[in-house]
């Protein structure tokens, strides 16, 4: 839970939000103690003890008079979390989903956290919508000068299923390769933000990069990107799922296959 989200509460009452990439562990702070399943859209909010520092960007806003929607592709989460809609977020679907749920063109806050195509979804969304504030999860393993992002899929790849039938297209699998190639670097977010009329205003270490619409900022109030250099080139967690796997050559092959430089 970012200090920026808490700051929004004092700045504006009754704002609107959209959060996608919302998991059970973000609700309770642990994957081992999921909440009791409740009907969709039930008026349940979390207690302070349940609210982890790293989860659910929209929850503290919801508990303080904000309204909005949450989306995720996890069916079990959709059954347990209030106002969570079961949707699969892609570059192709994001704008249609915002229209489906009647999201305002200049919604106050959007949180993007899908561990893969975050940058491409941001670019697709801001081609049509202009949220006032956006947070995007970043990969803190990347060095400050790295401008790289995850490749969502490789439709040109051919593989065979269990029965030997050809299947076209692959998606990056964290189960096979870990989280170390997930998402996007800080510098890539900065470059994409500039092209869409946004400015990096804060980095929540290991977690999110916050962007404000540049036309809403006072002149000469920008923060130099290198202010956040210490928030890069560092491991997010010390778990095996975040560590590179295989030999150096295998790691480099995976990096070439599943990431691309963003310029």
Cβ partners under 8 Å of residue 155, min gap 6: 168, 169
Cβ-proximal residues to 236 (8 Å cutoff; 6+ apart), any chain: 139, 140, 141, 179, 206, 242
Taking phi over 0 as left and psi of -120 to 50 as alpha, with beta for the rest, 102 belongs to left
Q: Is 111 helix (H, G, I), strand (E, B) or coil?
A: strand
Q: How far is CA 34 from the centre of its chain?
A: 21
Pick from 181, 206, 207, 200: nearest CA to 259 = 181
Per-residue pLDDT for 156 more than 60? Answer: yes
The pLDDT confidence band at residue 115, using thresholds 50, 70 and 90, is confident
Residue 53 has pLDDT above 80, yes or no: no
- Label residue 30 by pLDDT band (50, 70, 90): very low
Provide the β-strand partners of residue 157.
none
In whole angstroms, how large is the CA radius of gyration of the chain?
19
The encoded tokens of residue 51 equal 């609210």
pTM of the full structure: 0.80
Average pLDDT of the residues of the chain: 79
Rounded to an integer, the average pLDDT of 69-80 is 74
Give the span between the Cα atoms of 222 and 2, in whole angstroms.
Answer: 20
Whose tokens are 């995720």? That residue is 72
196-223 per-position pLDDT tens digit: 999 999 999 989 999 999 999 998 888 9
Query: Which tens digit of pLDDT belongs to each residue from 14-24?
Result: 899 999 876 55
pLDDT over 50 at 109, yes or no: yes
103 has pLDDT over 70: yes
Q: Is 164 exposed, middle or buried (0-12, 13-18, 19+ CB in 10 A)?
A: exposed
pLDDT of residue 23: 58
pLDDT of 98: 97
What does the pLDDT read at residue 247?
Answer: 82
pLDDT of residue 116: 84
Q: In the structure, what pLDDT confidence band is assigned to residue 194 with cuts at 50, 70 and 90?
A: very high
Amino acid 40: pLDDT: 43
Residue 101: predicted pLDDT: 95
Encoding tokens for residue 125? Answer: 């969304």
Q: CA–CA distance from 245 to each of 95, 177, 178, 234, 257 (Å)? A: 35, 7, 7, 17, 14
- pLDDT value at position 152? 77
Q: Give the mean pLDDT of 27-38.
A: 44
Q: Where does the pLDDT of residue 191 fall: very low under 50, low under 70, confident under 90, or very high at 90 and above? A: very high
C-alpha–C-alpha distance, residues 138 and 194, integer Å: 16
Q: State yes or no: pLDDT of 120 exceeds 70.
A: yes
Residue 151, pLDDT > 80, answer: yes
Q: For the chain, list the domains and their CATH numbers.
A: 3-148+180-236 (3.40.50)
Q: Give kind and range of the element (H or E) at residue 5.
A: helix 3-11
233 has pLDDT over 70: yes
Tokens linked to 89: 């977020």
Report the distance separating Cα 163 and Cα 180, nearest Å: 31
Q: Are 189 and 119 in contact (CB under 8 A)?
A: yes
Instruction: Give the pLDDT of residue 173.
Output: 65
Q: Indicate the pairing of strand 109-112 with strand 198-204.
A: unpaired
Relative to beta strand 67-72, strand 16-20 is parallel
């Amino acid at each position: 839970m970012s200090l920026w989200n808490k700051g929004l509460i004092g700045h504006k009452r009754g704002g609107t939000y959209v959060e996608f990439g919302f998991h059970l562990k973000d609700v309770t702070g642990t994957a081992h103690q999921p909440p009791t399943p409740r009907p969709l859209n039930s008026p349940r909010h979390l207690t302070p003890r349940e609210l982890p520092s790293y989860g659910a960007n929209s929850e503290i806003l919801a508990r303080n008079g904000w309204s909005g929607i949450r989306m995720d592709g996890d069916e079990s989460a959709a059954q347990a979390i209030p106002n969570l809609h079961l949707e699969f977020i892609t570059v192709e679907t994001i704008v249609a989903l915002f229209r489906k749920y009647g999201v305002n063109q200049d919604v106050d806050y959007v949180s993007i956290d899908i561990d893969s195509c975050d940058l491409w979804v941001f670019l697709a969304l801001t081609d049509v919508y202009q949220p006032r504030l956006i947070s995007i999860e970043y990969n803190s393993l990347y060095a400050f000068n790295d401008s790289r992002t995850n490749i969502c899929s490789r439709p040109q790849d051919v593989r065979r299923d269990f029965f030997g039938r050809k299947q076209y297209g692959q998606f990056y699998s964290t189960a096979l390769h870990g989280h170390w190639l997930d998402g996007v670097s800080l510098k890539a977010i900065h470059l994409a933000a500039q092209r869409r009329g946004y400015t990096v205003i804060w980095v929540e270490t290991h977690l999110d990069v916050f962007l404000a619409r540049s036309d809403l900022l006072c002149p000469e109030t920008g923060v130099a990107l290198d202010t956040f250099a210490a928030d890069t080139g560092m491991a997010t967690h010390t778990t095996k799922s975040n560590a590179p796997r295989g030999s150096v050559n295998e790691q480099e092959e995976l990096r070439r296959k599943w990431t691309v430089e963003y310029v």
